[in-house]
Amino acid sequence: MKCQLSLVVLIDNTAGTDRDLGGEAGLSFFIETGGKKILFDTGLSGLFLSHAEKLGISLRDLDFLVFSHGHNDHTGGLATLARHFSETAPDGRKMHVPEIITHPRSFWLKEKEGKKNGSAVSEKEVRKIFPVNLSEKPVWITDDLVFLGEIPRRFAFEGGDLENRTIQHPDGKIEPDYLLDDTALAFRSDTGLVIITGCSHAGICNITEYAREVCGEAHVRDIIGGLHLIRPGPKRLQKTGKYLNRLHLDSLHACHCTSLPAKTALADYCSLGEVRVGTNLVW
C-alpha cells in the first residue's frame, strides 16, 4: 500500500473562513508524505509563516523547499523563510535547513512589461543558507512524489504565454521568457495521480501528459493549483475542458491564477473542489 499525501493550503488568493487567515495573490502549500515535509512555494510575502503558525504547522523541520517557478508571487516569502532558518530554535539547537529543488532558470532575472517579477533573492544569496538542487530533469523526492522538471510543450493551444516577459541569462543575455522553469509535482496514490501545480504557465495539459509519462500512470485522480487561466479565450478553455473531461478526474481543485469565469466554464467538464487558505486535503 502506498503512503498517503496530505496538503494544507498556506497561501491562495482566496482567504480562509476561520482563524483569521488572509488571502494573498500567491500560492504556498505544505505537504507531508513518506516521512518527508515539503513546502511548495512561499507566496508573495511572509504571510505563509503566520498562517502555518495559526494552523499548528511547524516549518522548522522541513526536508524540502520546492519552487514551481521563479515568479515573485511564488518566491516572495523566501527572504522571510531564510531569516526564519537563520534564527536559533527555541530549544537552542541549530535548525535543520531544507534542500531547495527548482529549475535552473528559477533565479534568473525576470521582467514583465519592464517591471521585475522574479525572485528578489539571488541564487548566490540562496546558496549561503540552503543546499540547492537545480534540475531540468525529474527529481524523485519520495518513492511516489516527483518534481517534474522542465515540461515538454506538446499542446499548441497552450503556447504563447509571453505577455511581454523577458529573462536574463547569468551572462547578461536577454531573451523572451518562455517560462521554461514552470513545473509541478506529481504523486502516485493508490488510485491514480495527484498533480500539484503552481501557475501552470507550461499548460495544465502539457503538465499532466508529462506527469503520466514520468510516473508510468495513466489515471489522474486530482489536480490542485493554479491553472493560469485568467483571461483565456473560448477556444483554449474548450480544448482544456475537453482534455480534463477525458481524464475522468475525481476532482479539480483550481485556484490562485484561475479566474471565476474559467472555473465556471471548467465545471461543465469536471467536478470542481473548493480551495482557500486553510484547506486540508488527503489522498
Amino acid identity of residue 270, one-letter, is C
| 165-194: burial string, b at 16+ Cβ within 10 Å, e else | bebeeeeeeeeebbbbbbbbbbbbbeebbb
Q: State the Cα–Cα distance between residues 26 and 223, nearest whole angstrom.
A: 17
Which of 71, 113, 6 is closest to 202 using CA atoms?
71
- List strand residue ranges (DSSP E) for 113-199, in order: 115-116, 132-134, 139-140, 145-147, 165-168, 174-176, 184-189, 192-197
The reported pLDDT for the residue numbered 116 is: 92
The reported pLDDT for the residue numbered 161 is: 58
Interaxial angle between packed helices 234-247 and 204-215, expressed in degrees from 0 to 180 and rounded to the nearest 10: 30
The reported pLDDT for the residue numbered 133 is: 98
pLDDT digits (tens, 9 = 90+) for 167-219: 999 999 999 999 999 999 999 999 999 999 999 999 999 999 999 999 999 99
Give the length of the chain. 283
Mean pLDDT by 10 residues, the chain (283 residues): 92 89 97 98 97 94 97 97 76 78 97 90 94 98 98 90 83 94 98 97 97 98 97 94 98 97 97 97 98
Domains of the chain (ranges plus CATH)? 5-282 (3.60.15.10)
- CB distance 270 to 227 below 8 Å: no
The reported pLDDT for the residue numbered 10 is: 98
The reported pLDDT for the residue numbered 197 is: 98
Q: State the Cα–Cα distance between residues 210 and 158, nearest whole angstrom.
A: 14
Place of cell 489522474: 220
The DSSP H or E segment spanning 221 is strand 220-226
